[in-house]
Structures are given as structure tokens and as C-alpha cells.
Structure 1
């Protein structure tokens, strides 16, 4: 078995920008990740100084863990499924609350090779919870499992930076 080649995101220009921005604002981050299985937290943790801003991360690959670890309402999971807008919203809010962070990011989706619960491969929901509420974005990402997962992480980093640019520091 071989691992994919090094990805520029994971070596980190945008992740470094995120850590720098969070540090300058005196704010913290937590993640709740399904399809990315901790890849977002790892990308942030790979940046020197990340310990000042990264509170923690929850890997909630299994559906039941989305509820028991991240606090997603079981009724939402029953009604909408694990890959859905309200699930991403709950993951982001849960990461923020459970880890005591200023910002929470939730990622859930389908990396393939097969669809899941009627959701096509490449469907990703990104939730970002902050001091001013929660935003959820539905993404349709191309490629194989690695490409979808790393694109989801890149989208999360960029999305959080964009959101922070329009949200006043606490």
C-alpha cells in the first residue's frame, strides 16, 4: 500500500494563514470530521504555533458517533441522514461547544467509491459555527477519495478564513 503524494494543503500555506489569523484574533478552533477523518485538524496541527489555536478535533466517521461525541441530534440523523446540511450544522456546533472553541468546523460527505444513502460521490457539507451563528455550504467535489477529502479540507480552511474576514473578533 502506498500513500498519496504530499499535498500542498497539508504542508500548509493556507493552513498557516488560518493559524496566523486565529492567533492574531486571539481565537480558537475545533473540528468534527466524518469523511476527512481528522485531516483538517492534522493540516492545522502541522503548522508551527497551532497549539495556540487548535483546541481539538472529533473524528466521527461512524454515524452513531456524530450524536454521541459531537452532539448532533439523533432526530436529525434519523430524518436527514449522516450526509446532510443539518448534520454538518450540528457537527460544527458540537465541535465548538464540546471543545470550548470560538470556531467549530463540521465536515460530512461521500468520498466514494460508492454513493451513500442516495448522496452521490463528491457531495460534501461544510458547517462553520462561530460567534455569530452557523453557515453550511454544500459542495460537489470531483476526483477520487483522496482528491475529495483534501478538497474538502481546503474548502474548510478557505471557508473559515472567508467567514472570519467578515466577522469581528470577539
Structure 2
């Protein structure tokens, strides 16, 4: 039996308690967590895997490689660039999954405010497979309306990012 790792959720982002939550997952043969990780933490690789990200910058310096406590800014899903902060960063090592999470915030009026936790464990599985998971919890008015749309833009957008990562990592 294989046990798969889960995300450690801070209470304020607990799935099911906010305005929008999605979970996407892909399992890929012929890739490794280390190779997926390279494409995931190297922001200069993002546009080759995902066309829904723009204007990546590092307002406090650093980058383009993500690391613990890094502040970055990027646009996605039609939002103006969001201020993001890496809150969990652990590269995968044999037997231990990689873990990456960031928060992102958009200030403004009550109708404009958005608070996000985006989390990604990446782990090797038996048989030369790798599991890539994206889960995201959003709080705020801009998150609520898209949650009811079908197809769900956030779910479809994250699947496109997973598919791009999987393809680039093989």
C-alpha cells in the first residue's frame, strides 16, 4: 500500500471554509519529483509550462528561483499582479516529497480584496512515477463568483499548469 502526502493547511485557509477551493492532481510515469521541482521553482520556466501567468517580478530582490520566504509578484486569471510570499519550501529528497506553498494577496475595497494559499506537494511514487498536486484556497469576493462558473476557471487553469509541468518534466 502506498500512502500519499497531504497539505498542512493553516486554519484560515482550511478547504471548505473559504470562498473557493480547487484540487488538481496528476500522476506521471517517466518523470521524477526532482525534475518537476526544477520546472516548478524556476519561475523563468513557468511561461513554457503555463500560459496563464505574466509579469513575474521580485520586488524585494531575489529570483528567478523560488526559495523560502521569497516575495514575488505575478499576474494570473486576469487579476493585476498579486503580491505573493513563499511560506513553505522544501525540495524533494529520496523518500520525502517536495513542498511548496505561497500566499498571495490583493488589497482594495471589499469587492477587490483577495487572499490565497496555493500549495504543491510533489512526490516520487513507486514504479517510476511522480505525483504533482495543486490545491488552492481563496478568500474574498473575487474568488466567490468564479467558484460557481462551469467550467470552473481556476480548476481548468490549474489543470493546464499541471499538464504543462508533466510534459516539460518527462
Q: TM-score, normalised by structure 2?
A: 0.32
**Which has the larger share of strand?**
2
Higher Rg = 2
Q: TM-score, normalised by structure 1?
A: 0.32
Q: Which fold has the larger relative contact order, with Cα–Cα distance below 8 Å and residues 6 or more apart in sequence?
A: 2
**Which has the larger share of helix?**
1
